Structure 1
């Protein structure tokens, strides 16, 4: 991927449906051995007495991609299987996350684009569950290497030229404000992960 501008991704803004993977570019950096510690771009953080792990990814140093299935076209199904597959290809993984927005057969609920190829279509339906808590959105990596998060209908209208994209929901922060359906005293205490974009 060609890199023109500096970029950083801040984990914590959009729940994603699939694995987002960052790895060192082997030609520029030595292999990473984490040894039970957080990788370099990550840190522990507490907010209102709740612990988080926040990872800031600078795209001048890392690649970011979305993967769902292996060479056999079967969904990885776990981060362990994914890591083993990448290691077998000589691609060391620095960080992988998986929000688990899948149907029972492990097909993605919404849009999935891998290496410029649409593997699953954009989902504009209304239904129950986190994915459909509107507005939902799309995390994308353009073919020029820039990243963005777009609300689903905005993505449908813009039809950007993407290398990687994944749709999920709900969006957590929209134009600097929390999702309007979030309740201060909501009952959900499930552990979540997400991705956000601070600049392109």
Structure 2
């Protein structure tokens, strides 16, 4: 057979391999039975963990509720036998030097900390900020803080953080598409009744992180949870980060 034939076959094979890589990198997280999956966006890798009320339970925990949970390995120990049900856990919002939630925190329907409408420096106070909350049906939501405050609802779980990176499909005006500030970051968006928690594996900009959740995952509203201390516990991935002390956690578990 001619050399041209083999070159043609080789080109087709290469194209098929590249197509397979592209599909895997942009796969919808619903398509995998694992709670957490890895995805590629603009050359950076992210882990996306999903919460569905139909199959999982969610809870928010502060350090004051679990004093020995100084980090994710400490949380695993504090959970005892319940740790076997964990699908994933992450840092779940910003906290003060005493490891108390910096803003609103509701656990099991009880307000542990009030809403914080103060002004200050740092990402939490970059406006608009927002609230991730879960209603009595277990459905997750991301709302701008003032909108959350004025709405009538029964909230079972809630954590306030900031900034709201994406609101109504638009990037926060204080966030550029791909600025110079880089950090390992995590946040949450909601799409079709599912909460999508994402964490970057490498330091990334605010803008790239926000656009990943908006453009690749399709989340119209995205709340930033933190950077630098961002941590993930994923039994599926065999991963439990111990890189920072934490004050607030989100935990997703298999239903009993």
- Structure 2, unmatched stretches of 5+, are 1-27, 194-256
Does 2:136 correspond to 1:143?
Answer: yes
2:44 aligned residue (41, 47, 50): 50
Whole-Å separation in 2 of the counterparts to 1:124 and 1:162: 19
TM-score by length of 1: 0.74
Cα drift, residue 94 of structure 1: 1.3
| Corresponding residue number in structure 2 for 1:108 | 101
Q: Deviations over 1:67-98 (max 9, x none)?
A: 11366x63722111111111345662110001
Q: Deviations over 1:130-167 (max 9, x none)?
A: 11111110000112222211100001111421110000
Query: Which is helix-richer, 1 or 2?
Result: 2
SS in structure 1 opposite 2:127? Answer: coil
SS in structure 2 opposite 1:110? Answer: coil
| Corresponding residue number in structure 2 for 1:128 | 121
Alignment root-mean-square deviation, CA? 2.4
Q: Deviations over 1:50-82 (max 9, x none)?
A: 1111123222111111111366x6372211111
| Corresponding residue number in structure 2 for 1:3 | none
| Corresponding residue number in structure 2 for 1:59 | 53
| Corresponding residue number in structure 1 for 2:67 | 74
1:196 aligned residue (171, 186, 189): 189
Greater RCO (CA < 8 Å, at least 6 residues apart): 1
Q: Deviating runs (4+, > 3 A) in structure 1?
A: 88-91
Structure of greater Rg = 2
- Structure 1, unmatched stretches of 5+, are 1-9, 12-37
Number of aligned residue pairs: give it: 164
The equivalences for 1:165-180 within 5 A come to 165-180=158-173
Whole-Å separation in 2 of the counterparts to 1:102 and 1:143: 25
Whole-Å separation in 2 of the counterparts to 1:40 and 1:77: 27
TM-score by length of 2: 0.59
SS in structure 1 opposite 2:147? Answer: helix
Q: Check whether the contact 2:123–2:163 (CA below 8 A) recurs between aligned residues.
A: yes
